[in-house]
Amino acid sequence: MKQKIRVLIAKPGLDGHDRGAKVIARALRDAGMEVIYTGLRQTPEMIATAALQEDVDAVGLSILSGAHMTLVPRVLELLKANGQGELCVFVGGIIPDEDARLLRDMGIKAVYGPGTPTSQVIADLQQILQPA
Amino acid sequence: MKDVASQIRQGNRLALSCLLTWIENENPEGRAALDELFALTGRAFIIGITGPSGSGKSTLVNRLAIQLTGSPQTPQSVAVLAIDPSSPFSGGAILGDRVRMRDLMEHPEIFVRSAATRGALGGLARAASEMVLALEAGGFDFVLVETVGAGQSEVDIACLAHTTLVVEAPGLGDDIQAAKAGILEIADILVVNKADKNGADTAARSLAAMLEIGADAAGLNREEQVTWKVPVLKTSALNDEGIDELVAAIRQHRTYLETSGEWQRRSQIRLDDLFERLLREKLFAEWKRNIQNRKYEQILGEIHTRKISPYQALKQFRA
Ligand SMILES: Nc1nc2c(ncn2[C@@H]2O[C@H](COP(=O)(O)OP(=O)(O)OP(=O)(O)O)[C@@H](O)[C@H]2O)c(=O)[nH]1
Ligand SMILES: [Mg+2]
């Protein structure tokens, strides 16, 4: 059986809009990936636990609440504590350029603004995760 | 990851998670680790949860898993394997059962893994049986397996689980009367979930009636019928109602299994099934490798053009 790319799509924080997360989940499925979708209002702890139990290759965080500068570092910290510091983590949402740069410095692989074509996310993931 | 088997024995969850991936991918390292761990399996109580899509299986598992962990002083551990279908077009999948299992996410005694069917049609993931072995080796006392939303033919779970719960619910559109014969036959316990909604009593009554007809018709099962009468229980997973009674029924069924010899029989069926599948795959692969160059494709072509029937084609091959 061919290896499948497994991606966790999670929505940390308190905003209740998961349309974007669902659109990306469906697009990744249609690109042949297995998407673990966990629903709204996930704490960083829940996200890190899910990433560990599901042994995903990538974690996508959808954040519209503006709390990305507190949520993202916390998720990264927990992943690292669990021995998954190397995971590919990407963020989607309304993120100012300056913050996007800081997030990348922390190790976030990509930051996607509203309107990013899903094909780009797919292409990036395939490129980052393709077996060496 | 190095030395996964010994890390799993020491309770490392990341190692377990990694092994589950290897098993799903039919990776030789996964098989080697299972070789080492196999002696540790066979102790967990495997409970299957099946039933139509949307009947509340995941929501019920969320309640059930916590209840099964028991008292915090002497907790039992619970693994959940939650299965959703792969898309037949892309091969991808959206695995969404975790959405309804929020309370399990941070419970130290509970481990949840989602799996896609990857082409299997019986309601389970292709490698479900082996994944359960890995979870058993992880030391869990209970392994709960949620199948894909099942209509009537997705009954593989009955050959994997010790106890199978069939979860129905009122108001799913299709009339409960529409005899879902296959799926009712595999029930050890019938659950009518969403008891908070109208129609639950009617649904429970008609299911109980159908069970009786089924039991009468299946003369073969007379003996089992005497010792185990499939209970019909009402739950509201949403409101956390009826879960104690459900757990009590599950424990009763386990006692029944153990005292009747069924426990052992079911535990063996599952291994027989797994071994037979592996053997069939291996023999087919070897046989195909050994037949003459392109003969297989050639004969398929003759079937396509209706030159020979599939039966005639069979005769051209020797074992
Ligand atoms: N009213 C009511 N709704 C419930 C109950 N249990 C679950 N639901 C709802 O029913 C819907 C489906 O629940 P799930 O637990 O996802 O059902 P499922 O059987 O796991 O669905 P699939 O995995 O897709 O087959 C959700 O909206 C739940 O909130 C219940 O006891 N009462
Ligand atoms: Mg479900």
B196 and B309 together in one domain: no
* Mean of pLDDT values over B290-314: 90
- Amino acid A43: pLDDT: 94
Which residue is listed with tokens 């995971």? A87
B206 and B317 together in one domain: no
B271 and B254 together in one domain: no
Which chain A residue lies closest to B112 (C-alpha atoms)?
A53
**Contacts of residue B17 in chain A, CB cutoff 8 Å?**
52-55
User: Per the CB < 8 Å rule, is A46 touching B14?
Assistant: no
**Contacts of residue A82 in chain B, CB cutoff 8 Å?**
14
B65 and B158 together in one domain: yes
Residues of A within an 8 Å Cβ radius of B: 1-4, 6, 25-26, 28-39, 42-43, 45-46, 49-50, 52-55, 82-84
Distance, CA of B248 to CA of B163 (rounded, Å):
13
| Listed residues: CB within 5 A of ion ligand 2 | B 57-58, 97
Which ligand is in closest contact with the Cα of B85?
A: 1
- Structure-model confidence comparison of residues B37 and B73, the more confident one: B37
| A97: closest CA of chain B, how far (Å) | 31
Smallest Cβ distance to B106: which of A30, A35, A45? A45
Contact of A59 with A8, CB cutoff 8 Å: yes
What is the tens place of the pLDDT at every residue in B228-279?
999 999 999 999 999 999 999 999 999 999 999 999 999 999 999 999 999 9
B126 and B181 together in one domain: yes
Residues A132, B6, B10, B14: what is their CA dihedral angle, to the nearest 10 degrees? 10
* Mean of pLDDT values over B219-234: 72
B31 and B46 together in one domain: no
How would residue B215 be classed by pLDDT, with cut points 50, 70 and 90?
Answer: low
* Mean of pLDDT values over B157-179: 81
* Contacts with B222 (C-beta within 8 Å, 6 or more apart), sequence order: none
What DSSP designation does B48 have? E
- Amino acid B83: pLDDT: 97
Number of domains making up chain A: 1
User: B79 CB near a chain A CB, below 8 Å?
Assistant: no
Q: Which helix (H) or strand (E) holds B1?
A: none
Pocket test for ligand 1, best of B60, B100, B234 (most atoms within 8 A of CB): B100
Ligand 1, atom 9: closest residue by C-alpha? B56
Distance, CA of A79 to CA of A108 (rounded, Å):
12
What DSSP designation does B178 have? S
B260, B275, B293: which is the final residue of a domain? B260
Asked if residue A106 has pLDDT above 90, the reply is yes
Q: Widest CA span of chain A, in angstroms?
A: 43
Asked if residue B221 has pLDDT above 70, the reply is no
User: Is residue A72 situated within a structural domain?
Assistant: yes
Which residue is listed with tokens 């896609």? B116
* Mean of pLDDT values over B26-35: 95
Asked if residue B316 has pLDDT above 90, the reply is no
Question: Residue A52: which domain range?
Answer: 6-129
How would residue B212 be classed by pLDDT, with cut points 50, 70 and 90?
Answer: confident
Dihedral sign from CA coordinates of B169, B229, B47, B64: positive
- Amino acid B131: pLDDT: 98
- Amino acid B272: pLDDT: 96
* Mean of pLDDT values over B179-202: 87
What is the tens place of the pLDDT at every residue in A5-19?
999 999 998 877 888
* Contacts with B109 (C-beta within 8 Å, 6 or more apart), sequence order: B69, B75, B76, B77, B78
Contact of B151 with B57, CB cutoff 8 Å: no
* Mean of pLDDT values over B142-158: 88
B178 and B202 together in one domain: yes
Which residue is listed with tokens 């300056």? A98
Which residue is listed with tokens 């959703």? B84
User: Is residue A31 situated within a structural domain?
Assistant: yes
Number of domains making up chain B: 3
Q: How many helices (H) and strands (E) does chain B have?
A: 12, 8
Residue A60 class from Cβ within 10 Å (0-12 exposed, 13-18 middle, 19+ buried)? buried
Q: Is the CB of B236 under 6 A from ligand 1?
A: yes
Smallest Cβ distance to A29: which of B18, B92, B99? B92
Side-chain-side CA neighbours of residue A59 (13 Å): 30
Average pLDDT, chain B: 90
* Mean of pLDDT values over B176-191: 76
Distance, CA of B159 to CA of B145 (rounded, Å):
12
What is the tens place of the pLDDT at every residue in A27-78?
999 999 999 999 888 999 999 999 999 999 999 999 988 899 999 999 999 9
- Amino acid B176: pLDDT: 58
Return the amino acid letter for B195: A
| B208: closest CA of chain A, how far (Å) | 35
Asked if residue B143 has pLDDT above 80, the reply is yes
B260, B278, B305: which is the final residue of a domain? B260
B216 and B314 together in one domain: no
Distance, CA of B202 to CA of B105 (rounded, Å):
35
Strand B142-146 to strand B45-50: parallel, antiparallel, or no bridges (unpaired)? Answer: parallel
Asked if residue A132 has pLDDT above 80, the reply is no
Question: Residue B279: which domain range?
Answer: 267-319
Asked if residue B218 has pLDDT above 70, the reply is no
Distance, CA of B26 to CA of B35 (rounded, Å):
14
CA proximity to B49, closest of B112, B143, B171? B143
Task: Count the Cβ atoms, other than its own, within 10 Å of residue B191.
Answer: 30
Return the amino acid letter for B135: L
B300 and B188 together in one domain: no
What is the tens place of the pLDDT at every residue in B280-301?
999 998 988 888 778 888 999 9
B212, B232, B260: which is the final residue of a domain? B260
What is the tens place of the pLDDT at every residue in A111-128?
999 889 999 999 999 999
What pTM does this model have? 0.94
Q: What is the DSSP string of A90-130?
A: EEEE---HHHHHHHHHHT--EEE-TT--HHHHHHHHHHHHS
Instruction: State the CATH number of the domain containing residue A71.
Output: 3.40.50.280
Q: Mean pLDDT check: name the lowest of B200-204, B223-227, B262-266, B306-310.
A: B223-227
Distance, CA of B17 to CA of B4 (rounded, Å):
10
Q: State the ipTM, two decimals.
A: 0.95
**Contacts of residue A39 in chain B, CB cutoff 8 Å?**
96, 98-99, 102
User: Is residue A1 situated within a structural domain?
Assistant: no
- Amino acid B224: pLDDT: 53
SS3 B33: helix
Contact of A40 with A13, CB cutoff 8 Å: no
* Mean of pLDDT values over B127-146: 97
**Contacts of residue A75 in chain B, CB cutoff 8 Å?**
none
